[in-house]
Amino acid sequence: MIKINLVCVGKVKEKYFAEGIAEYAKRLKRFCDFAIIEAAEENAGDNAAAIIYKEGKNILPKLRGAVFAFAIEGEKYSSEKFAEKIKKLTDKGAGEITFVIGGSYGLSDEIKKKADGLVSFSDMTFPHTLFRLLCVEQIYRAFCIIGGTPYHK
């Protein structure tokens, strides 16, 4: 069974987001070994560059397998194409895929360069906890598409 990691900066504070994330994580267990790995959120005052750098250093040791970072400048996929990307990786023998969500200031260039690809959901900006929920749902949807279940219509 493939291992899917979602590396995220910070913790989810809102109960309603935590419950939604937990529900999709539970559903994913039938398709993959799914884990959410939290990296420490940094506070360096108003110095965004320092925060991005420190958070990048926190993320780096958590990267495993094929790595895809979520970034606004990344490639946009339909749900079907996202599923196809995951399926191609698994068909090629990838045993582990890691998706990365950066902190509120984004991802360091070091993480983006280390990634095998950059993925964008939209040109819009989302709160990080909402985006975490969206990511888990889209990963679940991808596996439903791959498995031919009726979840994705």
pLDDT tens string, the chain, 153 residues long: the values are 999 999 999 999 999 999 999 999 999 999 999 999 999 999 867 799 999 999 999 999 999 999 999 999 999 999 999 999 999 999 999 999 999 999 989 999 999 999 999 999 999 888 989 999 999 999 999 999 999 998 876
Give pLDDT, residue 37: 98
The Cα–Cα gap between 134 and 141 comes to 10
Distance CA 22, CA 140 (A): 12
Domains and CATH numbers, the chain: 3-147 (3.40.1280.10)
Predicted confidence at residue 153, as pLDDT, reads 66
Structure tokens at 134: 């969206």
Measured distance CA(100)–CA(153) in Å, rounded: 27
Place of tokens 């582990």: 96
pLDDT at 46: 74
If 0-12 CB within 10 Å is exposed, 13-18 middle and 19+ buried, where does residue 124 land?
A: exposed
Closest CA to 97 of 30, 22, 37: 37
pTM of structure: 0.94
pLDDT score for 33: 98
